[in-house]
Chains A and B, each alone.
Chain A
Amino acid sequence: MTNPAPAAPADAPRTQRPREQPVIEVMRPKTTTSPSATPTAADEARVAVRIRGLNAWYGDFQALQEIDLDILHARVTALIGPSGCGKSTFLRWLNRMNDLVPTARATGTVDLHGRDLLSRAMDVVELRQHVGMVFQKPNPFPKSIYDNIAFGPRLHRRIPRRELDALVERSLRQAALWDEVKDRLKRSALGLSGGQQQRLCIARALAVEPELILMDEPCSALDPKSTARIEELIRELRQTYTIVIVTHNMQQAARVSDVTAFFCEGRLVESGLTDTIFTQPAHEETENYISGRFG
């Protein structure tokens, strides 16, 4: 299904700038701008989504320029960068939510299991069953907790009641919400606290059994305690799901992610193992941003 990550950067089959890489490696042996070169983690990790030469526009405004990035299977990838640098835009192309913006368009390839997500032939409805999304502001549906979770599965097929009950319970358990809501599944989801609502939204996304979960600043509307719970949840989900999370919080990126990608003004400045990026960033911009000197 997915291609194994190349052992050495020079072997990366579809990298667009193969000749630059040795040069960079000579200059900075520990990190590289090549997206597929995340040495230790990449050794075992498969590539879940391979992004090459992604450009995105809103009308005439170019929001993303030539993004190359590999998103690793069963790992958490954090996207960091100053506001307006295109993190959400990037995320929203991974499940084609940008189709809803009339002026939005994109070029390049986003490869998931050998299929190009950006192609016209891609069935976006089916795609979104494989790529779930959690939004910045919790958006529970004005329905019962049960119906919120069951909404996704019910879209795709008729499910016997007992099977659906089990699915709801499993999703809520995965999102660490079951114990808090098991006695009030039939009550409105709008009665939950903000943190619970966000975990409900995560459970709702999990219920359709996606491979990839996109989270756009999932904690920015929450208090520190709820944030800690969600972070814990993300660390648990990492075992089974591939997660891409946008965050403004450097500590959060450091705590939950395996790989970090730093965006600035529509470009991917650098990406690599989170430890490396935070301790030995290759670029001065990254270092400035991480240390809080701008952004």
Chain B
Amino acid sequence: MTDRRRMIRTIKNRGFVVVCVAATSVSIAALAVLLFAVVKQGTKHLIGFDRAGVTADRAPQPPDEFTDLADVDWPALAASLETPALATLTDMPWRRLGRAQSFEYADEIIDVDWPAAADTLAWPELATLGTVDWDRALEVMTVPGFGRIAATWRNSEIGQFVTSPPSRRPERAGIGPSLAGTIWICAVCGLVALPLGVGTAIFLEEYRPKPRWARAAHAFVQLNISNLAGVPSIVYGIIGLTAFVQMFDVLGTPNDPWFTLGTPDAWYYLQVPFGRGVLAGGLTLMLVILPIVIVSAQEALRAVPDSLRQGSLALGSTRWQTIRRMTLPSAIPGIMTGSILAMSRAIGEAAPVLIICGIVFIRFLPQNVMDEFTALPLQIYDWAGRPQEDFHRVAASGILVLLAVLLTFNAIAIVIRQRFQKAMP
């Protein structure tokens, strides 16, 4: 009987180890397969070095992108073609024109509908440009080169991919605007979430109210924040849509805003409601990570021994001085680690951003916080959903870049933690 029992016990004990090892192996294998697939697909598009590009110096070259037209020396062109009307194009907002009539490449200037452009841009002189011999103009039109180093970067495959806009042709498709969009919304998100989250955590951890009703409110807020951390992120997308994009429709509509500052071309342009712009996207992401930032900052603050607070207070410091000079410096490594990990979650979030900006084809980098944008995960999603096999490869390359960004963030978090741990044994 006892022997039997002992045997069962041994089997259970061994079996437990076997199951654990098996589970770990399966997950590692799955991860390896995933990485292998992505790397195999993605590197085809990324690796390969355009040596010819290195030689491209500052020598003038024909314009490529539609926006390159801004760099053309129009007065000189007007003189050489003896078409004075061309000189007026110096001040042309090429970006807006390209957006209005959806052009991608410089040679599409042939197809521009000038009378319509004159209308949309409220610039009557443009209507006359329909008579220009654009074929000839394109032959002699040049823009300045990038210079050696810029050209090296720009002409390498990775450089191309990271800087150029998406395209109908997979071999030209890049993640420029979506990477920029991701950087913009993450910057907005971090700039708002960090002070807000750390401030809330300080309030919740360091200011314990005395009255009973205040303590109840305190506990209620605490409970809700812990719960919010588990809410699916798409829910925040819907909140962001109503709260930031439309502002509950009480302050006009995004197209007919209640308040504006500057014109849509200005870098400081601001409007209320925010519309489907960078600001709304960033704030929505902020909602997603705010509970994570708060909870991790709270944990970091809680890990600071009470004896330090008491020691500081006993020397006659105010509560704020204690927080500022004792608690926060001791908690900073934990707060930073938590916040960086929260930011890396923000970078990868697709669902809430999708609700804010939708799947849009954007060829320009955002110029201000009201500009429409797209984000890296959405761009990848878009490519992965297309029928052409080539686009799947482009998507894999995008994933590699996304992974690289995430790994960088995690590495920074680790370095910060190590550095501070060494400083404070």
Residues of chain A at the chain B interface (Cβ within 8 Å): 95, 97, 100, 102, 125-129, 132-133, 135, 137, 139, 141-142, 151-152, 155-156, 188, 190-191, 201, 204-205, 208
Q: Which B183-212 residues have C-beta < 8 A from chain A? A: 208-210
B316 touches A128 (CB 8 A): yes
Stretch of B267-275, B304-312, B362-370 that contacts chain A? B304-312
For this complex, 9 residue pairs linking A to B, each with C-beta atoms less than 8 Å apart, are A100-B313, A125-B317, A126-B316, A133-B314, A139-B308, A141-B312, A152-B316, A155-B321, A155-B325
A142 touches B424 (CB 8 A): yes
Q: Which A residues are in CB contact (< 8 Å) with B210?
A: 102
A102 touches B311 (CB 8 A): no
Q: Which A residues are in CB contact (< 8 Å) with B223?
A: none
Lowest 6 CB-CB distances: which A-B pairs, in order? Answer: A129-B316, A152-B315, A139-B307, A128-B316, A133-B314, A139-B311
A135 touches B316 (CB 8 A): no
A102 and B213 CA atoms in complex are apart in Å by: 13
A97 and B209 CA atoms in complex are apart in Å by: 16
Q: Which B residues are in CB contact (< 8 Å) with A191?
A: 425
A190 touches B425 (CB 8 A): yes
Q: Mark B291-320, 1 if CB is under 8 A from A, else 0.
A: 000000000000001011011111111100
A129 and B312 CA atoms in complex are apart in Å by: 11
Q: Which B residues are in CB contact (< 8 Å) with A127?
A: 316
Is B330 close to A, CB under 8 A? yes
Give the residue name and chain of the B residue nearest to A130 (CB). Answer: B316
B317 touches A155 (CB 8 A): yes
A132 and B326 CA atoms in complex are apart in Å by: 18
Write the nearest CB–CB distance from B68 to chain A, whole angstroms. 56
Residue among B210, B313, B316 with most chain A CB within 10 A: B316
A201 and B209 CA atoms in complex are apart in Å by: 29
Is B44 close to A, CB under 8 A? no
Write the nearest CB–CB distance from A256 to chain B, whole angstroms. 21
18 further A-B pairs in the complex, CB-CB below 8 A; given A125-B317, A142-B308: A97-B314, A125-B316, A125-B318, A127-B316, A128-B314, A132-B315, A135-B307, A139-B305, A139-B310, A139-B311, A141-B326, A142-B424, A155-B317, A188-B424, A188-B425, A190-B425, A204-B311, A205-B314
Q: Which A residues are in CB contact (< 8 Å) with B330?
A: 142
Is B172 close to A, CB under 8 A? no
- Contacts A125-B317, A188-B425 given; indicate if A201 touches B310 (C-beta within 8 A): no
Give the residue name and chain of the B residue nearest to A191 (CB). Answer: B425
Q: Which B residues are in CB contact (< 8 Å) with A102?
A: 208-210, 215
A135 and B308 CA atoms in complex are apart in Å by: 11
Give the residue name and chain of the B residue nearest to A129 (CB). Answer: B316
Q: Which A residues are in CB contact (< 8 Å) with B208?
A: 102
A152 and B307 CA atoms in complex are apart in Å by: 16
A151 and B325 CA atoms in complex are apart in Å by: 9
A132 and B311 CA atoms in complex are apart in Å by: 10
Write the nearest CB–CB distance from B89 to chain A, whole angstroms. 61
Q: Which A residues are in CB contact (< 8 Å) with B308?
A: 139, 141-142
A209 and B151 CA atoms in complex are apart in Å by: 67
A97 touches B313 (CB 8 A): yes
A204 and B317 CA atoms in complex are apart in Å by: 13
Write the nearest CB–CB distance from B104 to chain A, whole angstroms. 57
Write the nearest CB–CB distance from B144 to chain A, whole angstroms. 55
A128 touches B325 (CB 8 A): no
Write the nearest CB–CB distance from A165 to chain B, whole angstroms. 19
A100 and B317 CA atoms in complex are apart in Å by: 13
